């Protein structure tokens, strides 16, 4: 079993924003790709789970960057499982440049569910998963509980074709795109993301309408996405510099 998986990625134009640096959604996607590669290599990835009608879902995620790498750069994403409980497992990431210098990190919390019932699977019953627990801590603080948004601004969004993935629900990184679209180009030009956290609560499907609440307090942005009936979809926090 590979305790720490290491995966190289070269940043392509579609990974980068107008500043020619990797966007937060694209970086999050690469992190999730690394998680998938590691899980597949160790025998508990999507390729095997799909045959048993099961899937992984990420419930919390945090990303911290010292700098965002640029177009054409090669980066390495190392990933490992720290611990495995009955209902959730922690997986961490170290992001380094092509010379091996650490430039960021991520920490995630995952659950496994039955695709049809949407009920959680006891992770202790998954062959090989407990043996993957390394005990190695994260390089950044683990994601916590993001607070609800009280007041602030509100806008609505209809979930469209470009938002959904093969599960026919909104892709997790689409939520991040929606929140970043709340800021002007001038804001993005003059501010950089120091830390990002997201708590996933419920999925949304094609055709659903969601309400996006945003509250800004200087260099701290809080977001909460809800369905019109008030049920929470996710909560996000951005710390800027």
Q: Which tokens sit at 167?
A: 């599960």
Instruction: Specify whether the CB–CB gap between 44 and 128 falls below 8 A.
Output: yes
Query: Which contiguous run of DSSP H or E holds residue 105?
Result: strand 102-114
The packing angle between helices 172-180 and 24-41, to 10°, is 170
Give the predicted TM-score (pTM) of the model.
0.95
Q: Which tokens sit at 28?
A: 């999050």
CB burial of 106-124 (b: ≥16 within 10 Å; e: otherwise) equals bbbbbbbbeeeeeeebebe
Instruction: Specify whether the CB–CB gap between 183 and 223 falls below 8 A.
Output: no
From first to last of its 241 residues, the chain has per-residue pLDDT tens of 779 999 999 999 999 999 999 999 999 999 999 999 999 999 999 888 888 889 899 999 999 999 999 999 999 999 999 999 999 999 999 999 999 999 999 999 999 999 888 899 999 999 889 999 999 999 999 999 999 998 899 999 999 999 998 878 899 999 999 999 999 999 999 999 999 999 999 999 999 999 999 999 999 999 999 999 999 999 999 999 9
Question: Taking the CA of residue 148 as centre, how many other CA atoms within 13 Å lie in the half-sphere pointing to its CB?
Answer: 8
Domains of the chain: 5-132 (3.10.129.10), 153-240 (3.10.129.10)
């Amino acid at each position: 079993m590979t305790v720490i998986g290491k995966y190289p990625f070269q940043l392509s134009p579609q990974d980068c924003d107008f500043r020619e640096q990797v966007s937060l959604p694209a970086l999050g996607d690469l992190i999730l790709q690394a998680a998938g590669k590691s899980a597949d290599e160790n025998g508990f990835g999507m390729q095997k789970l799909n045959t048993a009608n099961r899937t992984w879902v990420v419930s919390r995620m945090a990303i911290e960057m010292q700098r965002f790498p640029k177009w054409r750069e090669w980066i390495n994403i190392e990933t490992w499982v720290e611990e495995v409980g009955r209902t959730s497992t922690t997986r961490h990431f170290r992001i380094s440049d092509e010379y091996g210098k650490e430039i960021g990190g991520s920490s995630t919390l995952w659950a496994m569910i039955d695709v049809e019932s949407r009920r959680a699977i006891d992770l202790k019953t998954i062959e090989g998963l407990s043996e993957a627990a390394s005990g190695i801590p994260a390089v950044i603080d683990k994601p916590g509980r993001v607070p609800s948004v009280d007041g602030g601004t509100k806008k609505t969004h209809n979930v469209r074709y470009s938002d959904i993935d093969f599960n026919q629900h909104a892709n997790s990184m689409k939520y991040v795109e929606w929140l970043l679209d709340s800021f002007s180009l001038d804001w993005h030009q003059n501010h950089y993301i120091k830390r990002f956290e997201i708590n996933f609560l419920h999925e949304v499907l094609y055709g659903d309408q969601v309400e996006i609440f945003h509250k800004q307090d200087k260099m701290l942005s809080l977001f909460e996405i809800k369905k019109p009936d008030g049920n929470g979809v996710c909560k996000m926090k951005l710390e800027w510099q």
